[in-house]
Amino acid sequence: MKVVVCRTNKKIFSIKVEKDVVKVTAFRKMTLEEIKQRVSDKREWINSRRKSFSKESCNAGKSRENNPDSVVAQMFCGKKCLLAGNTFEVVQTTESRCFLDGDKVCVPEKYYASKELRLKALRSFVKKLSLQNISTEVSKFGCFVSLCPTKIEFKNLSNGWLKCSNPRDRIITFDFRICQLPENLQRYLIVHAFCHFLYEGHDASFWNAVSNHIPQYRQYVEALAYYDFLKDI
């Protein structure tokens, strides 16, 4: 696996996986050992992304953006919306807020007329649903394992669906689009987050803890790669 490191004056760390190379952007004062450790911690995710490039299903999902008849293409123009792995039709409403009505997502008329405004309204609605629904599921799982996060955040993450915390901070940071994923993948991410309250890295002990709750977690790690197209909408 070829890794290319680009230094920056910004205090950031990001990983971008391409077909033949892994590009890392890191703060200029970060040591090489720190970079190696962070890349190692993300190895499972990196491997799943690399595999996705050779999978026809993932490639098809990406290419369908340019096919006006595809569901994915309609998602990119805000005419369809994915929620919990299910596709909802986006329609306009005279109401002043977005809401669900059966198998439809209703968007106010003032936003619906413009593609850009429609997509912006849908992003805000998706984030609101994640805040409501995922926070509830986090609370339920926390009660089950007798652990409690200090904070739950929903952000636009450039890498992955979850920003891993540590046993000291116990902060859970999800990508705000998490509610769009199928419920089994949502649960995997929640379990993954809580296991970091016990183990900081992604060593064997960490994955053993994950497998206690989700034995088939490897399948879920690979499945997540398919839904990366949602980050581009």
Interval 141-170 mean pLDDT: 90
CA distances from 231 to 41, 53, 92, 118, 223 (A): 22, 16, 24, 16, 15
Instruction: Return the higher-pLDDT residue of 50 and 165.
Output: 165
Asked if pLDDT for residue 129 goes beyond 80, the answer is: yes
Predicted local distance difference test score (pLDDT) of residue 41: 83
Any idea of the CA torsion for 126, 131, 137, 142, to the nearest 10 degrees? 150
Interval 33-53 mean pLDDT: 79
Q: Which amino acid is at 177?
A: R
Q: What are phi and psi of 52, to 5 degrees?
A: -65, -25
Predicted local distance difference test score (pLDDT) of residue 52: 63
Predicted local distance difference test score (pLDDT) of residue 19: 64
Asked if pLDDT for residue 61 goes beyond 50, the answer is: no
Residue 28 confidence class, pLDDT cut points 50, 70, 90: confident
Residue 12 confidence class, pLDDT cut points 50, 70, 90: confident
Instruction: Please state, in angstroms and rounded to a whole number, the distance separating the CA atoms of residues 64 and 183.
Output: 24
Asked if pLDDT for residue 104 goes beyond 80, the answer is: yes
Asked if pLDDT for residue 166 goes beyond 90, the answer is: no
Predicted local distance difference test score (pLDDT) of residue 111: 95
Q: Which CATH code for domain 71-232?
A: 3.30.2010.10
Predicted local distance difference test score (pLDDT) of residue 67: 52
C-beta separation of 127 from 176 below 8 A: yes
Instruction: Please state, in angstroms and rounded to a whole number, the distance separating the CA atoms of residues 80 and 85.
Output: 12
Domain boundaries, the chain: 71-232
Which region holds residue 156: left if phi is over 0, alpha if psi is between -120 and 50, else beta? beta
- pTM for the structure as a whole: 0.72
Interval 18-25 mean pLDDT: 79
Mean pLDDT across the chain, nearest whole number? Answer: 87
Instruction: Please state, in angstroms and rounded to a whole number, the distance separating the CA atoms of residues 128 and 105.
Output: 13
Q: pLDDT by residue (tens digit) across 173-220?
A: 999 999 999 999 999 999 999 999 999 888 999 999 999 999 999 999
